């Protein structure tokens, strides 16, 4: 399965660790790129340590790009059901030096291997990972691990 330059995204809100891994394997993902500002989770199996260990066991790489996470104000807007506010906050954040460097790193990686961006939100229309994926300029495909 070769989809040169295509960027995948996935949200784990409705997933189990097993369903997430199955979706990644089925899509031929080589590296999961965690774009959460805080790579922890109340959902068992989705905190950075547990997730990266499960991915390693499955033969999938893990990269946490914290600079591509949503700032606290953006996360609060998303939790409050204000995705348009989150988008505005995140767009301003993404223009910064550190996020731009992380974006360049991600663009390079996406040009060499099949990557998937991970965040919590199930609906990609309400998640910043879609904005990250679109900023790369590659075709974007969203995976649903609950399907």
pLDDT in tens, 37-83: 999 999 999 999 999 999 999 999 999 999 999 999 999 998 899 98
Q: Specify the CATH number for the domain of residue 108.
A: 3.40.50
Report yes or no on 2 lying in a domain: no
CB 15 within 8 A of CB 32: no
Q: Does residue 18 sit within a domain?
A: yes
Tell me the sheet residues that pair with 115.
7, 31
pLDDT of residue 4: 58
CB count, 10 Å around CB of 41? 16
What does the block give as tokens for 111? 């040009």
* Cα–Cα nearest to 35, from 80, 73, 71, 82: 71
130 part of a folded domain: yes
The total number of structural domains that make up the chain: 1
pLDDT at 71 (0 to 100): 96
């Amino acid at each position: 399965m070769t989809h040169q330059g295509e960027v995948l995204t996935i949200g784990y809100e409705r997933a189990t660790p097993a369903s997430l891994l199955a979706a990644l394997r089925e899509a031929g993902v080589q590296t999961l790129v965690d774009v959460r500002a805080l790579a922890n989770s109340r959902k068992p199996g989705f905190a950075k340590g547990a997730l990266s260990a499960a991915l390693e066991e499955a033969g999938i790489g893990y990269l946490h790009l914290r600079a591509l996470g949503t700032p606290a104000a953006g996360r609060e807007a998303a939790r409050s059901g204000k995705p348009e506010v989150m988008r505005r906050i995140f767009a301003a954040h993404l223009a910064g030096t550190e996020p731009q460097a992380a974006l360049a790193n991600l663009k390079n990686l996406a040009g060499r291997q099949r990557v998937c961006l991970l965040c919590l939100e199930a609906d990609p229309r309400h998640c910043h990972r879609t904005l990250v994926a679109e900023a790369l300029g590659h075709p974007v495909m969203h995976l649903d691990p609950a399907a």
